[in-house]
Amino acid sequence: MSSAVTSRGFDIRYRTIDLVSLTTLAVAFGVVFWAWGKLYEPLSNLAVFSYPPSSALLGGVWLSAGVVGGLIIRKPGAAFATEFLAAAVSTVIVGGTQWGWSVFASGFWQGLGAELIFLLFFYRRFGIVTATLAGALAGVFESRYEWSAYIPDYSFGSKLAHMGFFALSGAVIAGIGGYYLVRALAAAGVLDAFGPGREQVSEV
């Protein structure tokens, strides 16, 4: 057994293709995050979000990079790094976001939440349950950060509602959505060098 494989059975070695793919994912999601930030305010002002905490239902898009990165690369730190770097990219794009440098903190907490779920399963389970939990915990961590950063005036009940909405959005959009995005990429043949691609071949 290679010294790079821990007693838990997962490989911690990063190949060149892992690093290149992680960076590519981060840049792609960073652009998506930036674009979604431009749409967030007009969408959050819609009547359907008249209960302010419910606007957290729009947050799942920003949690997707960590889940997808973790599902594809399957190495310790991949989920965290993909999410954090995507947040950084969205900040440095021309014009940045309306939240400024605080996006770095959001990327940290979102990435940490997703990473902890993959760690919980010792980087050995990458099904829809793992993806859903990763998205949900990323939402919980981000909401808790926003309690003090963005919504300090909310009542405790409203903060809890915000956390519930964020977790739900993370579970559905980042988790389930991220899982099926990875499945689609694998079916298209672009992940042949990764676990999802090999699994796709074995299912055919």
Q: What is the mean pLDDT, run by run of 10 residues, along the chain of 204 residues?
A: 49 93 97 93 88 96 98 98 96 71 92 98 96 98 96 97 98 98 96 91 63
Specify the pTM: 0.91
* 204 within a domain of the structure (yes/no): no
In whole angstroms, how far apart are CA 99 and each of 88, 123, 146?
12, 33, 11
Q: Which residues contact 130 (CB under 8 A, 6 or more apart)?
A: 71, 117, 118, 121
**What is the pLDDT at residue 94?**
54
**What is the pLDDT at residue 188?**
95
**What is the pLDDT at residue 7?**
41
Q: Which of 92, 82, 91, 150 is nearest to 113 (CA)?
A: 82
Q: What SS3 class is residue 139?
A: helix
* 122 within a domain of the structure (yes/no): yes
Q: What six digits make up the tokens of 73?
A: 């690369």
Which amino acid makes up residue 41? E
Work out the burial of residue 181: count CB atoms within 10 Å of its CB; fewer than 13 is exposed, 13-18 middle, 19 or more buried: middle
* 56 within a domain of the structure (yes/no): yes
CA atoms within 13 A on the CB side of 73: 31
Q: What SS3 class is residue 160?
A: helix
* 31 within a domain of the structure (yes/no): yes
Check if the beta carbon of residue 141 is closer than 8 Å to that of residue 109: yes
* 150 within a domain of the structure (yes/no): yes
What residues are paired with 11 via a beta bridge?
Answer: 5
* 6 within a domain of the structure (yes/no): no
Q: Which of 10, 1, 17 is nearest to 191 (CA)?
A: 17
* 104 within a domain of the structure (yes/no): yes
- Locus of tokens 């990458």: 126
Count up the domains in the chain and report the number: 1
* 203 within a domain of the structure (yes/no): no
State residue 89 phi and psi, 5-degree precision: -60, -45
What is the extent of the structural domain holding 61? 16-193
Q: For residues 139 and 33, give the distance between their C-alpha atoms in angstroms, rounded to a whole number.
A: 15
Polymer length of the chain: 204
Question: How far, rounded to the nearest angstrom, does the alpha carbon of residue 95 sit from its chain's CA centroid?
Answer: 23
